[in-house]
Copies of this chain bind each other. A is one copy, B any other.
Amino acid sequence: MLSERRLQVLRAIVQDYVGTEEPVGSKALTERHNLGVSPATVRNDMAALEDEGYIAQPHTSAGRIPTDKGYRLFVDKLAGVKPMTAPERRAIQNFLEGAVDLDDVVARTVRLLAQLTRQVAVVQYPSLTRSTVRHVELLSLAPARVMLVLITDTGRVEQRMVDCPAPFGEASLADLRARLNSRVAGRRFADVPRLVEDLPEGFDAEDRGTVSTVLSTLLETLVEENEERLMIGGTANLTRFGHDFPLTIRPVLEALEEQVVLLKLLGEAGDSGMTVRIGHENAYEGLNSTSVVSVGYGSGGEAVAKLGVVGPTRMDYPGTMGAVRAVARYVGQILAES
């Protein structure tokens, strides 16, 4: 177990390194933080910290920089979440309240997060799984062609074409529309399959095929759209990454283009509370020199999607976590209102 002072030294190292981006030495430490001990003592502590794997030196006789393990300890034990100031909170709220629709909410959230944290922001669209159906609309475009429109309680709209096995009259269509909505409106997506299971039985034999086709398309939509979409922004902040550009930045850009990777990244994060994944804790190799701070957000008490930021492991964790948490909270409010 590390002594109290050694933890303080680690904290000081992380703070200084995040600020200066340069390896920090024993002398500089004692000058900038009044630890009450001499550089020599700090050197001993640093040697111990290095033995434990919390810090490392890039080359012999250079200062120390935190390792992933060091950051981990810092985040878990040494740093709190820095709350936003009142003016900042007000600014966030104002900015988000200007949104006109769901797309706009997401877009504004991305901009906001990127600006506050000066890093790359990632925001997942509110998930369908936990959402409820507001309305299902069926439109006849041709005798054997129906358009299915699904409207969710988060204001999202999905549409699908359905090619029917047989012509389908307007009357039958209206009938189906009515029965379908009476069963699923207001219900959770997860419950829909069970609720519509026996629906075809109420129809004439000739229409039954079409009804089944429409229903299976609906179910498909529910599942498929679970492969959720997301929006990213603030990629220009990647230029503040480090000195050795191309090599560091390229894999990150590639990861950001792969929605699958990002979704997995967010998905792996815990469902409740804020998650911080540091460096090699990220499964995806390209993100080994980045940290991901993510948190769930949602309209009610429970989370329907996640948002977060991707930045260098050398980041201001307390500040970033504060910003992420605050934004998530206010987005939740906005979604609940609309």
Chain A interface residues (CB < 8 Å from chain B) = 101, 134-135, 137, 139, 141, 147, 149, 151, 155, 157, 159-161, 233-236, 238-239, 245-246, 249-250, 253-254, 256-257
Distance between Cα atoms of A160 and B139 in the complex (Å): 17
In whole angstroms, how far apart are the Cα atoms of A139 and B181 in the complex?
Answer: 12
**Residues on B with beta carbons closer than 8 Å to the beta carbon of A233:** 257
A151 touches B147 (CB 8 A): yes
Instruction: List the B residue with the shortest CB-CB distance to A138.
Output: B137
Bound state CA distance, A134 and B250, in angstroms?
43
Could you jot down 7 A-B contacts, CB within 8 Å?
A101-B160, A135-B139, A137-B139, A139-B151, A147-B151, A149-B157, A236-B254
Report the bound CA distance from A254 to B245 in whole Å.
17
Q: Complex Cα distance A215/B201, Å?
A: 40
> How far is the CB of A6 from the nearest CB of chain B, in Å?
36
In the complex, which residues of chain B have a beta carbon less than 8 angstroms from the beta carbon of A147? 135, 151
Measured CA separation A284–B236 after assembly (Å): 16
**Contacting A157 at CB < 8 Å: which of B159, B236, B257?**
B159
Residues of B within 8 A of A253 (CB): 235-236, 238-239
Q: Which residue of B lies closest to A185 (CB)?
A: B141
Q: Select one of B135, B159, B238, B256 contacting A151, CB under 8 A.
A: B159
- Closest CB-CB distance, A63 to chain B, in whole Å? 24
CB distance from A225 to the nearest CB of B (A): 11
Residues of chain B contacted by A256 (CB below 8 angstroms)? 235
Q: Which of B101, B149, B236, B257 contacts A250 (CB 8 A)?
A: B236
Which residue from chain B places its CB closest to the CB of A103 in the assembled complex?
A: B229
Measured between beta carbons, the chain B residues less than 8 angstroms from A157 are 149, 157, 159
A232: nearest chain-B partner, CB-CB: B257
Contact between chains at B250 and A239 (CB < 8 Å): yes
How far is A307 from B236 in the complex, measured between Cα atoms in Å?
Answer: 22
Given contacts A157-B159, A159-B157, A253-B238, contact A149 B137 (CB under 8 A): yes
Q: Which residues of B contact A161 (CB under 8 A)?
A: 155
* A113 smallest CB distance to B (angstroms): 13
A134-B145 Cα distance, complex, nearest whole Å: 13
Closest chain B residue to A174, Cβ basis: B174
B149–A141 touching, CB < 8 Å: no
Which 7 residue pairs spanning A and B have beta carbons closest together? A236-B253, A245-B245, A239-B250, A236-B254, A239-B246, A157-B159, A235-B253
Query: Once bound together, how far apart are the Cα atoms of A250 and B147, in whole Å?
Result: 44
Contacts of A250 in B (CB 8 A): 236, 239
